[in-house]
Amino acid sequence: MSAYVIVEIDILDPAGYEEYKNLAGATVEKYGGKYIVRGGSTEVLEGNWKPKRIVVLQFESTQRAREWLNCEEYREPRKMRHRTAKTKMILVEGV
């Protein structure tokens, strides 16, 4: 079953975050993931949620998504993301 990593991002250091993006993409691809959404405009349809940036990644399974998140190759980019942005991240099974 497909799995999706959904991230709400508030970028604090735009230059540092661009560097993070350049490093993160290869790690996502290595673990079979792909970007479904990477930024873009958002529109609130209900409620008062106002995310500044949304990223959605698709993986073949929740296990594969966890492997990516915790892999050696993503260790430094992940630290970079934590330094350059505030994030909220969930993992959800899909169809």
- What are the E-state strand segments in the chain? 3-11, 34-38, 53-59, 85-93
Q: What is the pLDDT of residue 95?
A: 82
Collect all residues with Cβ–Cβ distance below 8 Å to 37 and sequence separation of at least 6.
Answer: 54, 55, 56
What is the tens place of the pLDDT at every residue in 11-65? 999 999 999 999 999 999 999 999 999 999 999 999 999 999 999 999 999 999 9
